[in-house]
C-alpha cells in the first residue's frame, strides 16, 4: 500500500501570504486525499510488502509538488504517474 502524506507551509505573519499558504495547504490536502483513494490498493507485483510514500508538498508559489520516497524499485516508482 502506498502512503500519501502532505508537507504543508507554515503560517507567515503577513496576512496576504498567510491566506495564500492556507489555500495552498488545502490544495495539498485535497490532492493527497484523492491520491490516497486512488492508490489505496496499489502494490508492487515484485515487492508487495514494500511501503512506498508519496509526499504532496505545498510551496511558496501556491503550487504543489510530488515527491516519491521509499519505493522498492524504479520500475514501480515510474509506474505511478502523478501530475498536479
Q: Tell me if 68 is assigned to some domain.
A: yes
Q: Which three cell numbers stand for residue 20?
A: 495564500
Q: Tell me if 84 is assigned to some domain.
A: no
Structure confidence at residue 84 (pLDDT): 81
Total domain count, the chain = 1
Tens-digit pLDDT profile for residues 36-53: 999 999 999 999 999 999
Helices (H) and strands (E) in the chain, counts: 2, 3
Q: Tell me which residue of 74, 75, 72 sits closest to 2, measured CA to CA.
A: 72
How far is the C-alpha of 56 from the C-alpha of 31, rounded, in Å?
7
Q: Tell me if 55 is assigned to some domain.
A: yes
The stretches in the chain having pLDDT less than 50 are: none
Q: The domain containing residue 27 runs over which residues?
A: 3-79
How far is the C-alpha of 29 from the C-alpha of 26, rounded, in Å?
5
Amino acid at each position: 500500500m502506498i502512503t500519501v502524506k502532505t508537507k504543508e507551509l507554515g503560517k507567515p505573519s503577513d496576512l496576504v501570504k498567510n491566506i495564500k499558504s492556507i489555500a495552498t495547504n488545502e490544495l495539498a490536502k485535497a490532492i493527497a486525499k484523492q491520491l490516497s483513494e486512488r492508490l489505496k490498493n496499489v502494490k508492487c507485483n515484485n515487492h508487495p510488502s514494500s511501503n512506498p510514500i508519496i509526499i504532496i508538498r505545498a510551496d511558496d508559489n501556491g503550487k504543489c509538488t510530488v515527491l516519491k520516497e521509499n519505493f522498492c524499485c524504479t520500475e514501480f516508482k515510474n509506474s505511478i504517474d502523478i501530475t498536479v
